[in-house]
Amino acid sequence: MTSIARSHAEQLDAADPLAHFRDRYLPHGDDVIAYLDGNSLGRPIRAVRDAWLDLADHQWGERLIRSWTDGPGGGWMDLPEQVGDELAAAMLGAAPGQTIIADSTTINFYKALRAALALRPDRRVIVMDRDNFPTDRFVAESIASELDYEIRWMPSNFAEPIDDDVAVLTASHIAYRSGYVADVAEITARAHDAGAVVVWDLCHSVGVFPAQLDAWQVDFAVGCTYKFVGGGPGAPAFVYAATRHHGQLRQPLWGWLGRRDPFEMEQGYLPAAGIRSMMSGTPTIPGILAVRAGTALIAEAGIEAIRAKSVALTEMVIDLYDAVLAPLGFDLGSPRESRRRGGHVTIHRSDARELTRAIIDRGVIPDFRTPDGIRLGLSPLPGSFGEVWDAVEIIRQIGAA
Domains, the chain, ordered by start: 6-44+303-400 (3.90.1150.10), 63-301 (3.40.640.10)
Helix (H) or strand (E) holding 357: helix 352-361
Annotated catalytic residue: which of 16, 85, 103, 201?
Answer: 201
What does the alpha-carbon distance between residue 53 and residue 290 come to, in Å, rounded to a whole number?
11
Q: Which of 21, 149, 226, 330 is catalytic?
A: 226
Q: How confident is the model at residue 1 (pLDDT cuts 50, 70, 90)?
A: very low
Q: Is 321 a catalytic residue?
A: no
For residues 168 and 159, give the distance between their C-alpha atoms in angstroms, rounded to a whole number: 16
Instruction: Tell me how far the alpha carbon of residue 245 is from its chain's centroid.
Output: 23
Looking at residue 125, its amino acid is V
Q: Tell me how crowded residue 244 is: count the other CB atoms within 10 A of its CB.
A: 10
State the catalytic residue, choosing from 43, 227, 259, 369: 227
Is residue 85 flagged as an active site residue? no
Other beta carbons within 10 angstroms of residue 245's beta carbon come to 17
pLDDT of residue 140: 98
> Has 226 been annotated as catalytic?
yes
Average pLDDT value for residue range 130-148: 97
Give the residue among 376, 366, 48, 81 at the shortest CA–CA distance from 229. 48
pLDDT digits (tens, 9 = 90+) for 53-103: 999 999 999 999 999 998 777 899 999 999 999 999 999 999 999 999 999
For the segment 222-240, the average pLDDT, to the nearest whole number, is 98
Which band of pLDDT confidence, cut at 50, 70 and 90, is reported for residue 153? very high
Distance CA 237, CA 34 (A): 27
How does pLDDT run across 165-188, given as a tens digit for each residue? 999 999 999 999 999 999 999 999
User: Cα 96–217–306 angle (5° rounding)?
Assistant: 65
Q: Which of 158-162, 380-384, 385-389 has the lowest mean pLDDT?
A: 158-162
Cα-Cα end-to-end distance for the chain: 13
Does the structure show a pLDDT above 70 at 293?
yes
> What local confidence, expressed as pLDDT, does residue 263 receive?
87
Q: What is the pLDDT of residues 336-371, one digit of tens each?
A: 999 999 999 999 999 999 999 999 999 999 999 999
Q: Would you state the pLDDT for residue 380?
A: 98
Instruction: Give percent of the chain with pLDDT exceeding 70.
Output: 99
**Mean pLDDT (whole number) for 233-253:** 97
The band of 236, judged by pLDDT with boundaries at 50, 70 and 90, is very high
- pLDDT at residue 340, as a whole number: 96
Give CA–CA dist 182/334, Å, rounded.
Answer: 13
- Give percent of the chain with pLDDT exceeding 90: 94
pLDDT, residue 117, reads 98
pLDDT in the model for residue 74: 81
Catalytic residue among 114, 177, 276, 375: 375
Q: What is the mean pLDDT of the chain?
A: 96
